[in-house]
């Protein structure tokens, strides 16, 4: 039975661990739409050694050609041209996969250590089990799944320029990225619910309890709406992100940037609200001033998390607009 539970993970690992696309290309084989741009900005003959050298070494020329190609070609043709131009000009590929793996291995280790410590205190009966404990366990599992998928995705192009990997691998990359995004939203919701149920355990004030319960309901409702909208961002639903290949379906599409801003705004507002709530109850706990200050410093970590949540918003919007998603992808775990 245990072997069966590991089988889906093995399948995912095998499907992700593919070599980075490394086929040889020549700029002479560029798509027809790109040929028009090359003919516009290069002197004839456009494939002479002098013209190719000018394309590779004169930044203004290469930039103008790229702008022209982006405006006149589909995404697939654009990526095809960029592969050919990079190979012809011997441009170096960005290689950040080792950094991504190191960061996610560290985060995975932190998750395992923290949840192990928490569970050990429960099994040794140092503290009693509560709803917050039962919620943090699936949250930790989802967070661990995110880090594992991010690590596996580095063998499927993550950390490299998107034009260096195949179209099939790119589509698979966005499918697994969609899984990461959903697990991120769910884990974030469970973490907030765990904290809120912890507040219910330690603060007895009836009014405060009512406020917490309404906050719990709002958290569940907002997460459900975000997940439904994310799943139905296009009709019919596509497995890849926002029709990356340049051929989106003809159905209605949601404004993805508005969805990102809505989710980020709701989470920042909830973070601030959940930071303020316990501070209002400290004066009623009957603790000495020194202990109150210590508790306030603990909750003060929330200020850092709120600041990070605000800083990440423009980066998330930039990622949604970028063509080079496999290289510029932000880490959802570190963006909480």
137-171: pLDDT as tens digits: 999 999 999 899 888 888 777 777 777 777 777 77
Q: Is the separation of the CB atoms in 182 and 159 below 8 Å?
A: no
Tell me which of 179 and 213 has the higher pLDDT.
213
Reported as a single tens digit per residue, the pLDDT across 46-94 is 777 787 888 888 888 888 888 888 888 887 888 888 888 888 888 777 7
Average pLDDT over residues 318-322: 57
Percent of the chain with pLDDT over 70: 71
The reported pTM is 0.73
Cβ burial 147-175 (10 Å sphere, 16+ → b, else e):
bbbbbbbbbbbbbbbbbbbbeebbebbbe
Q: Minimum mean pLDDT among 19-33, 43-57, 101-115, 204-218: which range?
A: 19-33
* pLDDT value of residue 325: 58
* pLDDT value of residue 218: 94
Closest CA to 227 of 175, 271, 186: 186
Q: Minimum mean pLDDT among 105-109, 170-174, 213-217: which range?
A: 170-174
Average pLDDT over residues 178-194: 89
How far apart are alpha carbons 248 and 75 in whole angstroms?
Answer: 11
How far apart are alpha carbons 160 and 231 in whole angstroms?
Answer: 27
Average pLDDT over residues 200-216: 89
* pLDDT value of residue 214: 95
How far apart are alpha carbons 292 and 307 in whole angstroms?
Answer: 23
Closest CA to 284 of 207, 203, 216, 220: 203
Backbone angle region of 7, left / alpha / beta, with phi > 0 → left and psi within -120 to 50 → alpha: alpha
Q: Taking CA 143 as the corner, what is the angle to CA 297 and CA 141, rounded to the nearest 5 degrees?
A: 110
Half-sphere exposure of 113 (CA within 13 A, CB side): 6
Q: Is the separation of the CB atoms in 95 and 322 below 8 Å?
A: no
Strands, DSSP E only, in 56-150? none
* Lookup: tokens for 264: 């980020």
Tell me which of 31 and 331 has the higher pLDDT.
31
Whether a cis peptide bond, with omega within 30° of 0, leads into 145 is no
201-208 long-range Cβ contacts below 8 angstroms, 24+ apart: 201/130, 201/132, 203/278, 203/281, 205/281, 205/284, 208/277, 208/280, 208/281
* pLDDT value of residue 217: 96
Sign, CA dihedral 10-16-19-23, equals: positive
Average pLDDT, the chain: 75
* pLDDT value of residue 224: 94
* pLDDT value of residue 13: 43
Sign, CA dihedral 169-20-319-98, equals: positive
Judge whether residue 123 has pLDDT over 50. Answer: yes
Whether a cis peptide bond, with omega within 30° of 0, leads into 271 is no
How far apart are alpha carbons 215 and 212 in whole angstroms?
Answer: 5
Q: Is the separation of the CB atoms in 331 and 150 below 8 Å?
A: yes
Q: Minimum mean pLDDT among 17-21, 288-292, 313-317: which range?
A: 17-21
Q: How many CB atoms lie within 10 A of CB 17?
A: 12
Task: For the domain made up of 97-328, give the CATH fold.
Answer: Rhopdopsin 7-helix transmembrane proteins (1.20.1070)
Q: Minimum mean pLDDT among 150-154, 213-217, 311-315: which range?
A: 311-315
Spans of all domains in the chain: 22-88, 97-328
């Amino acid at each position: 039975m245990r072997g069966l539970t590991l089988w889906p993970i093995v399948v995912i690992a095998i499907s992700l661990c593919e070599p980075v696309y490394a086929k040889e290309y020549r700029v002479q084989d560029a798509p027809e739409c790109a040929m028009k741009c090359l003919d516009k900005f290069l002197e004839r003959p456009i494939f002479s050694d002098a013209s190719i050298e000018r394309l590779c070494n004169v930044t203004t020329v290469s930039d103008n050609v790229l702008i022209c190609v982006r405006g006149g070609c589909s995404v697939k043709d654009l990526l095809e041209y960029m592969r050919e131009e990079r190979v012809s000009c011997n441009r170096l590929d960005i290689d950040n996969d080792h950094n991504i793996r190191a960061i996610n291995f560290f985060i995975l280790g932190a998750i395992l250590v923290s949840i192990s410590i928490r569970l050990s205190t429960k099994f040794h009966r140092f503290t009693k089990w509560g709803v917050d404990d039962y919620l943090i366990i699936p949250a930790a599992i989802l967070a661990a799944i995110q880090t594992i998928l991010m690590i596996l995705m580095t063998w499927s192009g993550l950390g490299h320029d998107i034009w260096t990997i195949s179209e099939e691998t790119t589509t698979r990359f966005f499918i697994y990225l969609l899984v990461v995004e959903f697990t991120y939203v769910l884990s974030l919701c469970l973490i907030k619910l765990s904290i809120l149920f912890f507040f219910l355990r330690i603060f007895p004030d009836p009014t405060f309890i009512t406020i917490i319960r309404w906050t719990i309901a709002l958290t569940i409702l907002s997460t459900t709406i975000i997940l439904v909208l994310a799943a139905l961002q296009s009709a019919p639903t596509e497995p890849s992100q926002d029709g990356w290949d340049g051929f989106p379906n003809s159905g209605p599409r949601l404004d993805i940037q508005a969805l990102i801003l809505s989710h980020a705004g709701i989470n920042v507002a909830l973070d601030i609200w959940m930071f303020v709530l316990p501070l209002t109850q400290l004066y009623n706990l009957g603790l000495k001033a020194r202990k109150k200050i210590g508790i306030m410093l603990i909750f003060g970590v929330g200020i850092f998390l709120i600041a990070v949540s605000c800083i990440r918003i423009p980066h998330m919007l930039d990622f949604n607009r970028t063509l080079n998603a496999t290289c510029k992808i932000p880490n959802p775990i570190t963006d909480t």
